[in-house]
């Protein structure tokens, strides 16, 4: 039998896609320790056992051998930076990382797709690695897409349907009813829920929705006439009344120069404060979708906008 080439062997192993985990423990001084590992696997359901392995040369090896336990965090698809951070040999991997301690004092990261808190049951020699087998004492899961490692690169895991089901119309004109599968209902419901933070912040700051849309237009377009402002906002469902510009001037949210208006420094600060609520919600939502899902949703919405809005001008 010919000798195995280590590089070729590593590349061959890379064809087996794995999840990505961060395994944490504590050292002899009760300081947090963590490493990125893709060697995590299940062993048994009864008793609940899992395993992972660590290189014998790892500086953190004594901590895992002596602590008596470890926590395995299955990473979500948005946690690539965190995976890279714990894969490097740095002095303090936990710097600027949000975490807490479990009852055993072992670090628990703030976010994960799944968490397995384990008691170390066995340690085995495995060539140039030590294999740790742990008994799961508790676990948690979150509905997040998981991070995958394949052929030396990160990837997203995407579930495939067992059978393609037909998309239901979700509406019965005869009965005058529609179901939760009605596409336009879903779009309206999604818009209503995702725009809630903006409506809430507008209410808190005493800004009406037409005023917010006006500030949004001015922020994106620069100086624009009152007539053009009203014309562009006609199709938003928030048509400004005749007094909107006077109100915005009294609040010092806009500056006026003859017929053109611009957003003022104060108005931009207000707009940014409200916009930040949408940005914060977006960041939370993106964690629940893979890159492929986001791309598909983006293309779907753009196509829907193109089909239904051929006679509606762009807002900016």
Both 176 and 283 in a single domain? yes
Q: Tell me: the pLDDT tens digits for 245-256?
A: 889 999 999 998
Both 147 and 179 in a single domain? no
Both 13 and 140 in a single domain? yes
Both 185 and 285 in a single domain? yes
Q: Tell me: the pLDDT tens digits for 194-213?
A: 988 888 998 999 998 889 98
Both 139 and 44 in a single domain? yes
pLDDT score recorded for residue 10: 73
pLDDT score recorded for residue 159: 67
- The CA distance from 16 to 18, in Å, is 6
* Helices 196-205, 209-221: inter-axial angle, 10-degree rounding: 100
CATH classification of the domain holding 140: 2.30.110.10
Both 81 and 116 in a single domain? yes
Tell me the backbone φ, ψ of residue 267, rounded to 5 degrees: -65, -40
In a domain, 316, yes or no: no
In a domain, 71, yes or no: yes
Both 122 and 244 in a single domain? no
pLDDT surpasses 50 at 1: no
Least confident of 23-32, 110-119, 189-198, 252-261: 252-261
In a domain, 165, yes or no: no
pLDDT score recorded for residue 312: 66
In a domain, 18, yes or no: yes
Give the chain's domain count.
2
Please, which pLDDT band fits residue 163 given cuts at 50, 70 and 90?
A: low
Please, which pLDDT band fits residue 168 given cuts at 50, 70 and 90?
A: low
In a domain, 53, yes or no: yes
pLDDT score recorded for residue 257: 78
> What range does the domain containing 291 cover?
171-308
Both 132 and 179 in a single domain? no
- The CA distance from 115 to 70, in Å, is 11
- Residue 93 in contact with residue 129, Cβ under 8 Å? no
Q: Tell me: the pLDDT tens digits for 87-144?
A: 988 778 999 999 999 999 999 999 999 999 999 999 999 889 999 999 999 999 998 8
CATH classification of the domain holding 278: 1.10.10.10
Least confident of 2-16, 39-53, 99-113: 2-16
Contacts of 204 (CB under 8 A, 6+ apart): none
pLDDT > 90: percent of the chain = 43
Least confident of 55-59, 158-162, 205-209, 269-273: 158-162
Both 253 and 203 in a single domain? yes
Global pTM reads: 0.67
Final residue before a domain boundary, out of 156, 181, 201? 156
In a domain, 162, yes or no: no
Both 95 and 227 in a single domain? no
Both 135 and 205 in a single domain? no
In a domain, 142, yes or no: yes
């Amino acid at each position: 039998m010919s000798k195995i080439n280590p590089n070729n062997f590593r590349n061959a192993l890379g064809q087996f896609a794995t999840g990505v985990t961060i395994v944490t423990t504590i050292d002899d001084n009760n300081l947090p320790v963590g490493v990125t590992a893709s060697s995590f696997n299940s062993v048994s359901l009864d008793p609940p056992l899992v395993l992972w392995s660590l290189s014998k040369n790892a500086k953190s090896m004594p901590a895992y051998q002596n602590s008596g336990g470890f926590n395995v965090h299955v990473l979500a698809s948005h946690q690539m930076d965190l995976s890279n951070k714990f894969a490097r040999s740095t002095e303090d991997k936990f710097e600027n990382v949000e975490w807490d301690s479990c009852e055993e004092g072992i670090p628990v990261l703030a976010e994960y797709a799944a968490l397995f808190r384990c008691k170390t049951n066995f340690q085995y020699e495995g060539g140039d690695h030590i294999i740790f087998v742990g008994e799961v004492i508790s676990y948690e899961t979150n509905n997040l897409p998981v991070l995958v490692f394949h052929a030396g690169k990160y990837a997203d895991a995407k579930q495939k349907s067992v059978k393609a089901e037909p998309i239901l119309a979700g509406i019965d004109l005869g009965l005058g009813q529609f179901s939760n599968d009605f596409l336009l209902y879903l779009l309206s419901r999604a818009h209503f829920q995702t725009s809630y933070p903006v409506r809430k912040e507008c209410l808190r700051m005493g800004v009406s929705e037409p005023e917010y849309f006006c500030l949004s237009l001015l922020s994106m377009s620069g100086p624009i006439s009152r007539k053009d402002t009203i014309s562009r906002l006609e199709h938003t469902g928030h048509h400004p009344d005749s007094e909107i510009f006077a109100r915005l001037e009294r609040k010092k949210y806009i500056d006026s120069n003859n017929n053109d208006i611009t957003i003022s420094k104060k108005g931009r600060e207000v707009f940014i404060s409200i916009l930040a609520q949408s940005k914060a919600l977006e960041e939370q939502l993106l964690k629940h979708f893979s890159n492929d899902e986001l791309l598909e949703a983006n293309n779907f919405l753009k196509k829907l906008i193109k089909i239904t809005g051929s006679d509606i001008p762009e807002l900016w």
